Structure 1
Amino acid sequence: LDGGGGGGRRGRAPGRPRTPPPDLILSDVMMPRLDGFGLLQALRADERTRTVPVILLSARAGEEAQEEGLHAGADDYLVKPFSTRDLLARVTAQLTRARLRKLEAAHGERLARIFQHAPVGIAILRGPEHVFEFANQNYLQLVANRAVMGKPVREALPDLADQGIYELLDGVYTTGEPYIGRSLRVVFHHDPEQTAQEVFFDFVYQPMSDAKGQVESIIAVVFDVTELATARREAETANRAKDEFLAMLGHELRNPLAPILTALQLMRLRGDTAAERERTLIERQVTHLVRMVDDLLDVSRVTRGKVTLKRERVTLTDVVAKAIEQISPLIDQRQHTLEVDLPERGTDLHGDPTRLAQVFANLLTNAAKYTEPGGFLAVTGTREGQELVVSVRDTGAGIPPEILPHVFDLFVQEHQALDRSQGGLGLGLAIARSW
């Protein structure tokens, strides 16, 4: 202690190091000028000796005397007379406890430093009112450096009302179950004169329990993902704009194609053979263009969720037959040999026959387009438990392994077909998987 008689305070000589506090203090209750209780009060008031263990020695026996000593701040109270062994045992116990407290304090300080410098927002909310016990600098920045420490969350962050945050914390505290949130939208009103700020957070609410297993606090770990959420929202907006453009483009292209096809059919009916070759070429290319426009329209419907399936009872044989009928002109043109092997029974389906036929027609069209003239195509169907499995094989060039993971993506085709001379827009398989 730096105190002495007369209320004076003795100074230290310049440059002289301060004496370190003792590891333990033994004191008799009955002493001249300053009794043991006065000494305890002075020790606990000094920052250097506040945690030093103190054992009081007294001739006063009884529980009341012992309770008085412990209540005054002593760590132990030893009644005279006592044995040396008893004194040593108590001293050893208090020194051990003091070392454990120092280790715990050092561990706590180390954790506090880690939390304080963590690259995410961390806060500790204690009790059912979720009082801020700790908040690192990153967390304080997320809440505009408000003075939240020691305040319940409803008082510290009142603008979170009606946004579900309080209820989430109450649920974690009550159930003891952690909660993980993804891209949660939160609106802050930091200043009544300023515009509300919209932010998005990923966060974890982790309950912490006491020795009895009761939740006593919640650790909140918060990540600001506003930039990512904004970029995702902009991408979704751009994607919707793309879908709407495809739908408009498909309709606008289809409008002039219909009269062109009608004119070609009228020319055929009139028997005008003067330009038969040119007319056939135009008709074939226009028909091809119509199919591509239909694919564009189908993609726009699928991506916008506007496809309506008309399910009914149908057989796999009928579905494949309709698909083959659709692509038979291409098969005849390229002189392919087509083999079909489907089960005679047990092929009943509950689905949209038109869309199912379109799916198989897309697969067969791809097989026919990329198989050399005179090649071989095969459609095989098998029943595997409750499923029907249809395989389409061909003798074409096949698909390079690096393209396989992307064949169902929009507008993807193998590089040799980028000129679209044989293929369409790379939409068929994307449509097939979407259904």
Structure 2
Amino acid sequence: MGVLMRSTDWSRTVLGPVETWPQSLRTTVSTCLNSRFPILVWWGPDLVMLYNDAYRPMLGRDKHPRALGLPGREVWQEIWHIIGPMLEGVLHRGEATWSENIMLPLVRAGFAEECYFTFSYSPIRDESGGVGGVFTAVYETTGQVLSERRLRTLQELPSRTSTARTAEEACALAAEALSQNLADVPFSRLYLLDDEGRKALLTAFTGLPPEVMGSAEDWSIPEVSRSGQSVLLDGLSRRLGAVMGGQGATAVDAALVLPLVCPGEARPSGVLVAGLSPHVLLDEKYRSFLGLVAGQIATAIGRVRVLQEAQQRAEALAALDRAKTAFFSNVSHELRTPLTLMLSPLEQALVVPDEGLRGEELRTVHRNSLRLLKLVNALLDFSRIEEGRAQASFEPVELSSLTADLASSFRSAVEKAGMRFTVDCPPLQEPVWVDRELWEKIVFNLLSNAFKFTLAGAIAVRLRPVEGHVELSVEDTGTGIPREELPRVFERFHRVQGAKGRSIEGTGIGLALVQELVRLHGGSVRVESTLGQGSTFTVTIPLGNAHLPRERLGATRTQASTGLEAASLLEELSQWTGGGVSTLSTPSSRSHQGELPAGHILLVDDNTDMRHYLQRLLAEHWTVEAVADGVMALEAARKRVPDLILSDVMMPGLDGFGLLRELRADPRTQTVPVILLSARAGEEATVEGMNAGADDYLIKPFSARELLARVSAQLALSRMRQEALQEARKRAEFEQQLIGIVSHDLRNPINAVLLSAHALLKREELNERSTKNAARIITSAERASRLIRDLLDFTQARLGTGIPVYRKPVDLHAVTRAALEELHVAFPERELLIEHEGDGCGEWDGERLGQVVQNLVGNALRYSPEGTPVRVVIRAEEGHLLLSVSNQGQPIQEDLLPRLFQAMQRGASEMDPSTRSVGLGLFIVDHIVRAHGGTIDVKSSEAEGTTFRVRLPRRE
């Protein structure tokens, strides 16, 4: 920029030839050009722009170099309505401003870019004393702001989706989280794929108007599902005929299509279409963020499916355990039929083992297994209710959508049978308190009963509010119920004799179960029927929750729904119509072939088999170090800090909770993610683990897929936290540079005061009073200068950059004498004794050592009574020099000694309040001494006073 400025013909600009520039402008431009920090100078009433090399990237290719020497209004037209009034205020009032993370939509790469800046506007005084221009120190914080915003989205995603119970619900909740960050994801579309990856179902979307939908092919869904790779779509206006978010450059016209690959699977389970902001460049960080979003959603889907599989396994085992002989004796026919259909093919396969089970026989066994399970579950549900052991969990539910979703499961079977199916469930004005799973049983039982006894015509499901209640009606045009049978319809095991239906099978407890489930909700059920015309069953449930047991409102569920009962029912319906219903297969565990976050994992488990199994499983994706107990783990973590720790809870010696406490107490490992493994199930165990500081808690037994999902999610979040910390460090560096500039600006007027006061002091016509006043001005100005220097040094030390030292040959004796002469001006009445023993030469930073002497001796003077001397001794030692400063004041308090060299620590009683310090002196002394490779210590007692000893090596 210096070369460019020298080559510019300034006579053609409003500033005129350089020779005519005022000295204030020349000085400011010189400061600007010699600074490595981004600086912009606005000069004159037209606010002409002058800037340095560090500022050039903020202009971009569209504005540099033409911006040099142009009025700001011409260069920054797109943001002048924002910054123009601010600059005018500085010019007219001379008041500095400070703006932090302000958004400025700059056009510097061909589009309106979302940019954030932290900057200050400071007035530049000209020779007349007025404001000639504005000095701007500016730092671009776009990366920091975007990272923080994206990190919030990545934290919100697992928080929202953690309550999902189905893949569809996980997608819907993920869409809600994405809708909170339309700046980065203006719109989104979430598709779920079938097991073969051929069919895509749009499950959730945000930000798109209804008319801009498009097909799966328009969004490249088939291509992404086949390749498992992301695809960039641009020109959406050409593809779909419309876009969102405005017109022209402000319109969203591009999207990134990403596969949703669950950990442990090779094939995508879904696809995310993420709209791209027209105001942000699609760089590696933007791509990485969207990749992490897709990973979070895939993990949520995988977790839901793992949970469903676990629930199905648990329910199947529970059903076998509860199958009592008494149930078989009551419904022997219904149980013997499926058992026969199961045992016969198996027996035949055992007789001819080479032949095995054929496809049709396997389908028969599977179908009747589901049927048997449905029968047993129905009996056990009824038994629990009869014995008063049924435990409902009531919660406010949007009953219209829930009922419509449940009823829609029957649409395929009803329409396949050639009948009309109507679901009329308009939204209600308020949620209804129900147990979701028990409501599912009510709806399914009524609909299956209607389908069974309706051979032609129609079935209708309706939901309506009626005077403080909500009514569900299931109406059919079936065979109807004889009038004399109506009073006994809800009796257990009662069946209408001779009723014509699709099947004669049944236990006779379906409607009795419905009645009991409705009573649990504080409601009632009734039936109206005409023989040969059809029936209408009506369930009435009160609104609100005053009629429900208080302890069951939002209570923890003791029995989990498996979804197998619904599958069994639909399978049975298909058999009644002579067709089959395809069943989704359970995803198997496959080795992961997609992208996972890199990392080093420390595995801790005292069980050898478990440790080896987990090590083999995790080593396919990450580097793993395995140890047998908590003590070894702590040692390994301190030797090499891992990216994640996976630890068992129950271990000899140091258990998992003890290891967690030690890790969190060590600054090196306190942020490392920790996942605890435990055989203790239940909510209390999980809460205990999370309260102890664990990032996740996994209960044994667990599936390989779930473990990989948890580990992958924690590694991804850890990486985002590290990126946020890096942005914070960059901001700290900016603060340090800014303080340096501010301290420089503050020193200039103080130096001017000192020069003027010294010149005044040399005048012979001054009387004694004026001489004292001039000396007092000098003392105060020097103290202010030292204070500014201390604050700058403190900032450098606090931000981790350290106090810089510049070594050269120095005589410590001469440095000490010069420092003591300055102190004598501030303390003319005090006695300073100095002793030199041996040579005082070495390679040090003389200015910094003078600062050490001034701080130590200044403290000794402030904390010792008048009339007592302060002794300074410099003694040569082999390869070192020892500097000691002693006073005879009160000893330092014992509780202050351990933190004496920390910032903002001051003694309780300074002898001279007018020279009271801010508590940074010893902090800075300690850092300067350590920067020279030296040491400092202190001894303090009532008898001997206080002595500080500094030992400095002569060479680096």
Normalization by structure 2: what TM-score?
Answer: 0.24
Normalization by structure 1: what TM-score?
Answer: 0.48
